[in-house]
Amino acid sequence: MTAEQPPPKAEQAPKIVIVDESPIRAAILEEGLREAGYASVVRISEMHSLLARIYALDPDIIVIDLENPSRDILEQMFQVSRAVRRPIAMFVDQSDAASIQASVDAGVSAYIVDGLKKERIKSILDLCVFRFNAFAKLQDELDRTKMALEERKVIDRAKGILMKLKGLTEEEAYVLMRSTAMREKKKIGEIAQSILTASELLK
Amino acid sequence: MSGPLHIGFIPLVDAAALIIAVDKGFTAAEGLEVNLVREVSWSNVRDKLNIGLFEAAHLLAPVAIASSLGVGHVKVPIVAPFNLGINGNAITVSPALHAAIMAELDGDRFDPMATARALARVVAARRKSGADPLTFAMTFPFSTHNYQLRFWMAAGGVDPDEDVRLVVLPPPFMVESLKSGHVDGFCVGAPWNSIAVDHGVGHILHFVADILVHAAEKVLAIRQGWAEKNPEVVARLTRAAIRAAEFIEEPGNRAETARMLARPERIGVDAEVIQRTLDGRLKISPDGTIRGNSRYLLVGREGAGRPDPVQAAWLYSQMARWAQTEVSEEALKIAMAVFRSDLYDAALGTSGASTSATNRPFDAFDGPEFDPRDIAGYLASFKIFRQPI
């Protein structure tokens, strides 16, 4: 008997390619993978000749976001072709419905070259799902902050109009809008917006 | 069944019956609430249908078959009670390739055998001069576009795997890739061929109707398990699609149809471009040449909506011809059973025998008559094919 075979190279340091047109999300994902000890991570954000670049990199795992139409290009890797050296499977396991559901919900998909240990793939995919969800949450918070800022601006402008037209102080203008909002069961932002609209119309 | 149905679609003109069914109120008239979800890739549509995020979808007919067979991906049986479109694709080539084919043409330019042979001569000349092989794009490995492009060029003696490069490209990237010279031609559905012509970067060489007279394109796909649990919903949805197709095919409704499809949240291109496809009058060259063909895209006419298992058998034969799967009686049966004319008939309360459009023969410009009972014999008559690995 010969000595025990060393694990295949992919088991030691699987090469991971991230295909994502969002550079921030890709960076968040890459950071997570590196923190988890996966040193070999390459990001692709340019979709031109995607397949050729992937073949040249020869990754063990490809992670792609679901908003990316180029996902269909990756499907070509399943096809019989001289360009493909190793078989590729999708997701962790075709029978693992929960993993598939979680990744589709998170908006990420993974293509995995055969030969990697299942647990290893699962932990990488879980990490991707976690980071994608974290990014979505960040994005959501950012959107809400932006909206709040917008609303702030609208309220300030409406206040200015009231102050000018009715000779109110800033405090009084705000109280007037707030009480109107409460009476009409609307948000103060909506009241402010209608003041702006009305003042546009009456100009 | 409670709550709205989630139905996925790709922004293409052959999603018309589905979009109009919802936007013109045919689904509401059937008591259905539908949330149409615009998707960016066929992989997404397939996966979301598979895992139940969608109850139904606008799907490439070969993907429905591949999914039912478990070829290329997870095995999830799909049924198609309605055929969303017959034909509708076209082959578009760059001005340079068009000129090269025309220079080699010996025969009518709309005769696919003449153009395929001309292409073979262009390919041979390029090889001799050491030029790169031509690159053609199609939309998905399991797509009518893939099979139609292969069927056409192989008839002229061009091996689609050896003599040219065949690549997958998402439809919205086709025009740009043709313009930049990354591809020399493509096969895609409407409106992308017309957009290439309008941009002056392509010539429509063939309508798919030149190659296959009557070819199933997209289906209304539903998971078999879900369809069996919700037969009443399937019947209503199918009926709504049938009514929508009737509406679309009424020439007086074409302009309204085109306007509804043109909305940004639906297909999102000019209504005029969409109407060309519905009318079958297409600008085929940047110089403004118009070519009419009443069979360019059929949505409901000539029994187009009723799924025909012979069509499924032909698509399966092409999967086998190009080594995506092997020929087996068992698999053929599964493939044919995806196209459920019985569900279509049940939705209308008719029986198959009373409809006029039953199993028309499959008609192509090359090869012997197609007989689903002898796929192996049919395939053996073609010189160019892939050996299964």
Task: Please indicate, yes or no, whether residues A96 and A183 belong to a single structural domain of this protein.
Answer: no
Q: Tell me the average pLDDT across B55-80.
A: 94
Cβ of A109 within 8 Å of Cβ of B43? The answer is yes
Question: In a 10 Å sphere around its CB, with 0-12 CB exposed, 13-18 middle and 19+ buried, how is residue A20 labelled?
Answer: buried
Task: Please indicate, yes or no, whether residues A29 and A61 belong to a single structural domain of this protein.
Answer: yes
Cβ of A104 within 8 Å of Cβ of B48? The answer is yes
DSSP letter string over B112-140? HHHHHHHHHHHHHHHHHTTPPPPEEEES-
Domains of chain B, earliest start first: 5-86+215-267+300-372 (3.40.190.10), 89-211 (3.40.190.10)
Q: Tell me the average pLDDT across B94-110.
A: 98
Q: How many CB atoms lie within 10 A of CB A122?
A: 15
Interface test with B, best of A20, A65, A72, A109 (most B CBs within 10 A): A72
Q: Which of A141, A157, A187 is the last residue of a domain?
A: A141
Cβ of B167 within 8 Å of Cβ of A101? The answer is no
Q: Is the dihedral of CA B251, B171, B135, B211 positive or negative?
A: negative
Task: Please indicate, yes or no, whether residues A94 and A152 belong to a single structural domain of this protein.
Answer: no
Residue B73: which pLDDT band, with cuts at 50, 70 and 90?
confident
Task: Please indicate, yes or no, whether residues A132 and A73 belong to a single structural domain of this protein.
Answer: yes
User: For tokens 């043409």, what's the residue?
Assistant: B105
Residue B196: which pLDDT band, with cuts at 50, 70 and 90?
very high
User: For tokens 């949330």, what's the residue?
Assistant: B35
The CATH number covering residue A63 comes to 3.40.50
| pLDDT tens-digit map of B321-370 | 999 999 999 999 999 999 999 999 999 998 655 454 455 789 999 999 99
pLDDT of residue A12: 64
Nearest chain A residue to B168, by CA: A73
**What is d(CA B217, CA B315) in angstroms, rounded to the nearest whole number?**
10
Low-confidence ranges of chain A (pLDDT < 70): 1-12, 78-96, 114-115
pLDDT of residue A99: 76
Cβ of B389 within 8 Å of Cβ of A73? The answer is no
The answer to whether the CB of B115 falls within 8 A of the CB of B149 is: no
Cβ of B42 within 8 Å of Cβ of A48? The answer is no
**Is residue B38 helix, strand or coil?**
strand
The CATH number covering residue A195 comes to 1.10.10.10
Cβ of A71 within 8 Å of Cβ of B43? The answer is yes
Q: How many CB atoms lie within 10 A of CB A188?
A: 18
Cβ of A78 within 8 Å of Cβ of B72? The answer is yes
The answer to whether the CB of A119 falls within 8 A of the CB of A139 is: no
Interface test with B, best of A19, A75, A96 (most B CBs within 10 A): A75
pTM: 0.87
Task: Please indicate, yes or no, whether residues A148 and A137 belong to a single structural domain of this protein.
Answer: no
* Total count of domains within chain A: 2
Interface predicted TM-score (ipTM): 0.89
Contact residues, chain A, for B73 at CB < 8 Å: 78, 90
Interface test with A, best of B10, B44, B46 (most A CBs within 10 A): B44
Q: Which of A141, A169, A187 is the last residue of a domain?
A: A141
Residue A158 structural domain? 144-201
Task: Please indicate, yes or no, whether residues A56 and A104 belong to a single structural domain of this protein.
Answer: yes
pLDDT of residue A3: 46
Contact residues, chain A, for B140 at CB < 8 Å: 72, 75
Q: Which long-range contacts (CB under 8 A, 24 or more apart) does A85-89 make?
A: A85/A58, A86/A113, A86/A114, A86/A115, A87/A113, A87/A114, A88/A112, A88/A113, A88/A114, A89/A113, A89/A114
Contact residues, chain B, for A49 at CB < 8 Å: 182
The answer to whether the CB of B136 falls within 8 A of the CB of B187 is: yes
Task: Please indicate, yes or no, whether residues A182 and A114 belong to a single structural domain of this protein.
Answer: no
